[in-house]
């Protein structure tokens, strides 16, 4: 998708929340389910997306979980890659409760 967008002249492509990790209770389940999440696979996917951004000179915003330490569940994050493939920043969504 990144390559296709770049070839059509796009400078930025944005993916939805949880594009790589899943989103919502039906997909994620309880915090205990994160123990089995394939963090290496997600990291490989993020590195690959960064490389495609570099190759095709396009920015990307990618939704993926961000692992925290200990027993805390991960944050729902957005990774922002520059057109040189470098990670510009990561935004972690906060849980808003009434």
Q: Which tens digit of pLDDT belongs to each residue from 34-52?
A: 778 889 999 999 999 999 9
- Structure pTM? 0.85
In sequence order, which residues have a C-beta less than 8 Å from that of residue 79 and are 6 or more positions away? 46, 61, 62, 63, 64, 87, 90
Closest CA to 12 of 56, 42, 65: 56
Looking at the DSSP bridge assignments, the partners of residue 76 are 65
Tokens at 65, concatenated: 């979980």
Q: Which tens digit of pLDDT belongs to each residue from 9-35?
A: 999 999 998 899 887 656 666 667 777
More confident residue, 94 or 51: 51
């Amino acid at each position: 998708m990144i390559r296709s967008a770049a070839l059509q002249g796009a400078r930025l492509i944005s993916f939805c929340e949880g594009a790589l990790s899943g989103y919502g209770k039906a997909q994620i389940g309880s915090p205990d389910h994160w123990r089995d999440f394939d963090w290496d696979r997600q990291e490989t996917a993020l590195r690959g997306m960064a490389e495609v951004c570099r190759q095709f000179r396009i920015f990307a915003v990618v939704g993926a979980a961000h692992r925290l330490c200990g027993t805390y569940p991960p944050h729902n994050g957005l990774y922002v890659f520059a057109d040189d493939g470098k990670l510009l920043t990561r935004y972690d969504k906060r849980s808003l409760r009434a």
